[in-house]
Structure 1
């Protein structure tokens, strides 16, 4: 069975099994009934033109989170990808996650390299609170269409409420990826090397980046928030060793931006 089919089977099993985990006697519709929340938002940011680039570009990404209403979440981050919580008791939250991946063209510094198709990543997430002021979150996702590898993101954020409506937060981040991911975004085969002038490079899997991130979040109203954030990542391992980064980019990656979200509550 291919990795994509394996991942699809795992996701399907989790979703079909969720009602049993929630309440063995309820069934699918019983699990779906109740109070739910949907958080929608957007992020506008100045970020690297592509992973490993030494040029910046203005861009935007969506923020989407869906789950059953439980104890109020103590902390959320703009780094959290699209999430569907299957377990949420306030102290521990786990479920399915996904990420949309934009395409990468073969222009400018990327001329001669094969374009990367748009696609996505699907997988699972787990987060918990070691203390009242610290959240740790991990995501493991498998690529669809854009790449056929795995990506794991781990982050820890300490947070402090300066006022009842203003919060500051920040902490370390680390990412890992398999060779399937690195080959799509950092690999250079013989044909691409001849066309682009870059050195041929065939990456393996391993550590992708380490870094730090922080944010100032303002609770505008009960359902609406806005934030200012900054992120720094240092490319490591197969990413740092890529000829694309060494010859036409840089290891240091900076991102700054603003985001806003709105939470909708509904019942089923």
Structure 2
């Protein structure tokens, strides 16, 4: 059964300053931009499910004016570019992790809940050409899980006009055994409570897939986009009894978004 829910905000902080400049007096002064918006998405009820729901996701972006990046993807997590040379960007990154329990799906009844938490780590992205960006993130779970997650993506992008940009590219995700145990493992106790076969995962690849998007700058301040993604669960995720008995290896996401940018000075 589809349902409409509110997911967590997508946040982005953008700078193009090297690390030493953070200590300069008046770094926060100058011209800044605050972008607010919302995205509406159709996503699986939980990672690995074969049923879908609609969610509303706030979008919040804050950064200096005149430091817009050549390309950004909705897959990019919260990040601060402490190093930015124009063709290479790196710094800390983070992701909010929301609860998962039997209230999200009957499939999860009897399994240990996932608590609200975060994933913190670092990111790096490089532009090998003017039309290609490669980005990697490595994050460690805090409170929600104790595992490591690594995401790698490549996006080719092209401007069809001064206001319309299209992009597409592959995605690969990997994780440690602690992550898989939290999301896909089924202990003996959980097996009795849920009816799923016991499963103890190891680390490895989590998913492979492809994503695409089209972005339209309606005005100088208003931006809209249509995006979609397909991923196939592999390795320990695909082998989980939760996925094999109640879910699907094939995962789809499609959505639209709209944002408005406010410019101001400090």
State TM-score, norm by structure 1.
0.85
How far apart are 1:113 and its partner, in Å? 0.8
- 3-state SS of 2:179 partner: helix
Q: Could you tell me whether the CA contact under 8 Å between 1:68 and 1:85 is conserved in 2?
A: no
Task: Name the structure 2 match of 1:98.
Answer: 94
What is the distance in 2 between the residues matched to 1:38 and 1:90?
Answer: 22
Greater share of residues in helix: 1
Q: List gaps (5 residues or longer) in structure 2.
A: 1-16
What is the distance in 2 between the residues matched to 1:38 and 1:135?
Answer: 24
Change in Cα spacing, 1:52 to 1:20, as seen in structure 2 (3 Å) is closer
Task: Name the structure 1 match of 2:58.
Answer: 62
- 3-state SS of 2:157 partner: strand
Q: List gaps (5 residues or longer) in structure 1.
A: 1-18
Task: Name the structure 1 match of 2:112.
Answer: 114
State TM-score, norm by structure 2.
0.86
- 3-state SS of 2:136 partner: strand
Task: Name the structure 2 match of 1:43.
Answer: 39
Change in Cα spacing, 1:212 to 1:244, as seen in structure 2 (3 Å) is same
Render the CA deviation track for 1:201-240: whole Å, top value 9, x for unaligned: 1111111100000011101222331100110000011101
Render the CA deviation track for 1:53-80: whole Å, top value 9, x for unaligned: 0101111233344444554311111111
How far apart are 1:265 and its partner, in Å? 4.2
What is the distance in 1 between the residues matched to 2:75 and 2:33?
Answer: 19
Change in Cα spacing, 1:88 to 1:228, as seen in structure 2 (3 Å) is same
Indicate which of 109, 134, 137 corresponds to 2:135.
Answer: 137
What is the distance in 1 between the residues matched to 2:18 and 2:77?
Answer: 25
What is the distance in 1 between the residues matched to 2:43 and 2:157?
Answer: 24
The number of residue pairs the alignment matches comes to 249
What is the distance in 1 between the residues matched to 2:257 and 2:228?
Answer: 11
Structure 1 ranges of 4+ moved more than 6 A: none
How far apart are 1:105 and its partner, in Å? 1.6
- Write the mapping of 1:229-244 to structure 2, written as runs, cut at 5 A: 229-244=227-242
- 3-state SS of 1:85 partner: coil
Task: Name the structure 2 match of 1:77.
Answer: 73
Task: Name the structure 1 match of 2:253.
Answer: 255
Task: Name the structure 1 match of 2:180.
Answer: 182
Root-mean-square deviation (Å): 2.2
Task: Name the structure 2 match of 1:173.
Answer: 171
Change in Cα spacing, 1:41 to 1:153, as seen in structure 2 (3 Å) is farther
